[in-house]
Amino acid sequence: MCIMKKLSRKKIQKIIKVLYKKISFKKRSSLRVDIAYIVYALAALIFLLAILLFVWFNQSRFITGEKEDYAIDVLVEHLHVNEEESCEIRQVISGICAEKEEDIHKEFVAVVVENHIDALPLSGIQDASIIYEFPVESDIPRLLAIFPVDMDVEKVGPVRSARPYFLDTLYEYGNPMFMHVGGSPESLLRIKDESLFSVNEFFRSWYFWRSKKRYAPHNTYTSSKLWQGAYERYGKEQDLGTITPWKFKTAQPCESECITFIDFDYFYKHEWHYSSNTNRYVREQFRRPYIDDKTEQVFADTIIVQYVETRVLDAVGRLRLDLLGSGKALVFMGGKAVDATWKRDSLRSRTQWLDTFGEEILLNPGKIWIEVVSRTKGGVLYQ
């Protein structure tokens, strides 16, 4: 150390030059080759370390939850693209890809299912292709669940009574089989006068059963086995009409500026939560997961909010909902919100969902949940 300190910088450079000259040309060439190999080895090592660091960094992000849905979103997007490219035949009302014409489902059954707090958990609604959620008396919600007749569903209910606006909705699906337990005076009169395909528990109770585990009126159920029997018995007598399908296109999972929360301060307090991992919305009601009788949380692929004119008809609180004409709507799919207009020209026409340019909105295939809310009372917030 002491000797090194006494040597100046110039002296050290001079010594190195002398030593370099004394090394033979062959040795110097060999030295250059060795240095080249060392440089290449170092470069390969740095490249390998870079790959390892990249893998570790992305794994740590996934484990810690930071942007945890990135890798899954890419995979989901890839799957959706493949589905879109290969989908030539779609089911009529859900838009889901079908392998052959026989699977598109042209015959449907509509079941009135209540959503009263005393009826929870509900049965079978997760198997429905489309669900309409309507207000009835006191703004308590009631569901109209649309199923393909040939679907296998073990239990659906509790089944409740009909309302006139349920019948207005039936016409969008031709003349489907309509399962209910009685109804308001106006709805029962219309069912008779309009020769609707009604299976009323009051007159055909063998297509329903009353559960001993629930008290009335929250204890009436049906199943696909029962409604298929009813369809086989009475369907041949009916003019089933036709249905105009909506248009569909797979919505890609949201990557940025996503709408992840939809709050309905109307009916019973409930929310929908979007996840880009699944590209679906799951429902909560009364601030807890909204599950069916199989403890599965209810989900939807597309949520539509339809604002309509409503008014109270009598002292009981029965409502009139105007489902013909046009009005404001919101369409939620793929983590995005679309300002829309609904339009329905006649009782036998299908409701259209139009964008701000008047073009029909392409809906995301899968389960569709339509929330029909009052234009003046429907509080819907999203972010």
- Specify the pLDDT at position 79: 35
pLDDT in tens, 139-173: 889 999 999 999 999 999 999 999 999 999 999 99
Comparing 38-52, 189-203, 289-303, 322-336, the range with the smallest average pLDDT is: 38-52
More reliable by pLDDT, 246 or 79? 246
| The pLDDT of residue 217 is above 80 | yes
What tokens were used for 6?
């006494």
pLDDT in tens, 73-128: 333 333 343 444 578 889 989 999 988 887 787 899 999 999 999 999 999 999 99
What tokens were used for 377?
């009372």
Burial of 293-311, coded b for 16+ CB within 10 Å and e otherwise, reads eeeeebbbbbbbbbbbebe
Nearest one of 114, 115, 143 to 290, comparing CA atoms: 115
- Specify the pLDDT at position 80: 40
pLDDT in tens, 182-212: 999 999 999 999 999 999 999 999 999 999 9
The mean pLDDT value of the chain amounts to 83
Q: Are 343 and 352 in contact (CB under 8 A)?
A: yes
d(CA 302, CA 305): 10
For residue 35, what pLDDT band results from cuts at 50, 70 and 90? low
CATH class of 90-383: alpha beta
| The pLDDT of residue 252 is above 90 | yes
Q: Are 146 and 370 in contact (CB under 8 A)?
A: no
| The pLDDT of residue 60 is above 70 | no
Report the residue count for the chain: 383
- Specify the pLDDT at position 98: 86
Helix (H) or strand (E) segment spanning residue 97: none
User: For the chain, how many helices (H) and strands (E)?
Assistant: 7, 20
Mean pLDDT of the region 316-330: 94
- Specify the pLDDT at position 39: 56
The neighbour count for residue 318, using CB atoms within 10 Å, is 16
Whole-model pTM: value is 0.77
**End-to-end Cα separation, the chain, in angstroms:** 70
More reliable by pLDDT, 219 or 70? 219
- Specify the pLDDT at position 61: 37
Sequence spans of domains, the chain: 43-86, 90-383
Mean pLDDT of the region 249-260: 94
Q: What percent of the chain has pLDDT over 70?
A: 78
Hey, what amino acid is at 332?
Answer: F
| The pLDDT of residue 248 is above 50 | yes
More reliable by pLDDT, 236 or 371? 371
Mean pLDDT of the region 276-304: 94
